[in-house]
Amino acid sequence: MASNEDVALAGERQAAARRLLADPIVTARTHPDDFAVVRSHSEWLIQQFDRVLGYELTVADEHARLTKTGLVRSVTRPLRRTGGASATPRVYSYLALCLAALVDSGPTLAVSRLASDVRDAASEAGLGLDPTSRMSERRAFVAALRHLTDLGAVSAHGDSPEVAATEDFGGAALWVHTDVVRHVVAHPPHASSDPHEFLESMETDDPHGDAAAEVALRRLIAETAVVYRHDLSERQRDRLGRHQWRAVAELGELLGCDAEIRAEGVALVMPDDVENERLTTFPSSDPVGQAALLLLERLIAGLPAEDVPAAAVPVPAEVVESEITALLDPASPFQLRWARTAFSHAPEPDDFAVRILELLRDAGLVRRSDTAESRFEGWSVLAASARYCGRPYHSGGASAEGGGGA
């Protein structure tokens, strides 16, 4: 029987691994407590990430960087702005230009000087971007700086860039942490004819060799909310059937997680205390997460009893729209509930529906057809959604706890 010290040691290591899986850059400035734990267990973490997932972990004096490989399209999530909306292509462009300018800068840099360097780099690249030209450009530029600040690549020195953005950045300056700046881009871009070719060259989720294939399978389970068998190629499906229990055991040792293995697929279940680690996609306690849970319950309650999701059940566009509209009604119980809390308001109505559906999609609970045109068209409820929603009380006595799903 393991001693209390052994259990505590394993728990520390697994918490550090979960943090790195959710936030691949951890610095002494942004996460001092987490970084201290990562450093103290660095040897174990480096070995286990390499063996279990084939990921390279670098631990330096002031930061740790987990470099992932093999999965691109299936696990990529957009950057989020302060209000929760997805970052625009312009923000990504400014992020790349800022990195190009910062990588050779000194330890401190005025934001106005960085803006000038970014403008020159954009001009050299043939891009019409200038953070000093108008307010919308400055906001996109500051959003990129905020993301670099969150990563620990830069930190504010003097006035913050956000405050100074309306005054051409005034006296705002940055401390530049070059060691982190150089590791923000895990895989520096190489020459390719188009972005699709570049992404294709990075995607190695179905290798031929047995050892590499098992590592790829563990990556898929660790990085995907739900792995549905019918989404896999025949070779991957056969591999999952033969190795799923061993893969789950290896991931459990690394991450301290459990798993649900069903006929429909496999899903990891993280410990209850990791909501703030961003590794737990769903459910969450914020307005979008709560609205998404309510929407899922209402969509499933509206399905015929025989259609409790076994694979994928299409939901008519008018049903999706009407249910979301009901949630957004200012007089709805949901809106009244959040009006009485510390959140004081739900997200902007214009993007609330998009964010609710994106959250459910990222959690592997719904899916949208590639051919859908309008926002509410083409959605289907997937098997794992039944885990969160019971049948209505009048549906033949089904349990209110719900079940099924991956």
Mean pLDDT of 195-199: 69
| pLDDT per residue as tens digits for the range 271-330 | 865 544 455 567 777 788 888 888 998 888 877 666 555 678 889 999 998 988 888 787
Q: What is the pLDDT of residue 390?
A: 55
Q: Regarding predicted confidence, which is higher, 92 or 335?
A: 92
Which CATH code for domain 89-184?
Answer: 1.10.10
In the structure encoding, which two tokens stand for residue 359, read together?
């959250």
This prediction has a pTM of 0.82
Rounded (10°) angle between helices 210-223 and 234-255: 70
Mean pLDDT of 57-74: 85
The residues spanned by each domain of the chain are 4-67, 89-184, 210-272, 287-387
Q: What amino acid occupies position 244? A: Q
CA 60, distance to chain mean position in Å, is 24
Q: What is the pLDDT of residue 333?
A: 72
Q: Regarding predicted confidence, which is higher, 386 or 218?
A: 218
Give yes or no for a contact between 57 and 20, defined as CB atoms under 8 angstroms apart.
yes
CA–CA dist 361, 384 (Å, integer): 11
| pLDDT per residue as tens digits for the range 228-238 | 998 888 888 99
- Mean predicted lDDT score pLDDT of the chain: 81
CA 346, distance to chain mean position in Å, is 21
| pLDDT per residue as tens digits for the range 340-360 | 555 545 556 667 888 889 889
| pLDDT per residue as tens digits for the range 288-304 | 888 888 899 888 887 76
**Lowest mean pLDDT across 8-17, 242-251, 367-376, 383-392:** 383-392
At the topology level of CATH, where does 287-387 sit?
Arc Repressor Mutant, subunit A (1.10.10)
Q: How many CA atoms lie within 13 A of 13 on its CB side?
A: 19
Residue 174 burial by Cβ neighbours in a 10 Å radius (0-12, 13-18, 19+): buried
